[in-house]
Copies of this chain bind each other. A is one copy, B any other.
Amino acid sequence: MAPSSAFASDNAAPAHPRALEAIASANDGYAPSYGNDPITERAADVLRGVFAAPDADVLFAFTGTAANVIALAAAVRPWHEILCSDVAHSLLDEAGGPVRLSGAQLTRLPSDDGIISPAELDARVVRRGEVHHSQPRIVTVTQSTENGRVWPAAELSEFIDHAHSLDLLVHVDGSRIANAIAALGVSPAEAIGDADIVTVGGTKNGMLFGDALLVRRPDQFEGIQFVQKQIGHLASKHRYVSAQFSAMLSDGVWLQSAAHANAMAARLSTGLTELGFSLATATEANEVFVKLDAEALTAVRSQFAIHQPDALAPVYRFVCSWATSEQDVDAVLDLLRGR
A binding-site residues for B, Cβ under 8 Å: 4-6, 8-9, 11-15, 20, 23-24, 27-34, 61-67, 69, 77-81, 91-97, 99-101, 103-106, 123, 126-127, 131-135, 203-204, 208-209, 222-223, 225-237, 240-241, 305, 310-312, 323
Contact = CB atoms under 8 A, between A and B. Distances in A.
Contacts of A69: 230-232
Q: How many copies does the complex hold?
A: 4
B235 A132 contact: no
Contacts of A62: 62-63, 209, 232-233, 235
Contact of A230 (B96, B127, B223, B230): B96
A47 to B, nearest CB: 19
A103 B104 contact: no
A223 to B, nearest CB: 5
Given A5-B33, A69-B232, A208-B237, A227 B27 contact: no
Nearest to A241: B209
A106 B105 contact: yes
A133 B95 contact: yes
A231 B234 contact: no
Nearest to A225: B131
A203 B236 contact: yes
Nearest to A29: B14
A240 B6 contact: no
A43 to B, nearest CB: 16
B305 A61 contact: no
A32 B311 CA distance: 20
Contacts of A127: 311
B209 A79 contact: no
6 nearest A-B residue pairs (beta carbon): A66-B232, A79-B226, A97-B230, A11-B236, A96-B134, A231-B231
A95 B132 contact: yes
A212 B229 CA distance: 18
Given A15-B27, A99-B99, A127-B311, 8 more contacts: A5-B32, A11-B236, A62-B62, A65-B230, A91-B105, A95-B132, A100-B101, A209-B241
22 contacts: A5-B31, A11-B236, A13-B30, A15-B237, A63-B232, A63-B233, A65-B230, A65-B234, A66-B231, A69-B231, A79-B95, A79-B96, A79-B100, A79-B227, A80-B96, A95-B230, A96-B226, A131-B229, A131-B234, A209-B237, A209-B241, A232-B232
B8 A77 contact: no
A132 B101 contact: no
Contacts of A135: 226
Nearest to A69: B232
A3 B228 CA distance: 27
Given A6-B30, A28-B14, A323-B30, A232 B95 contact: no
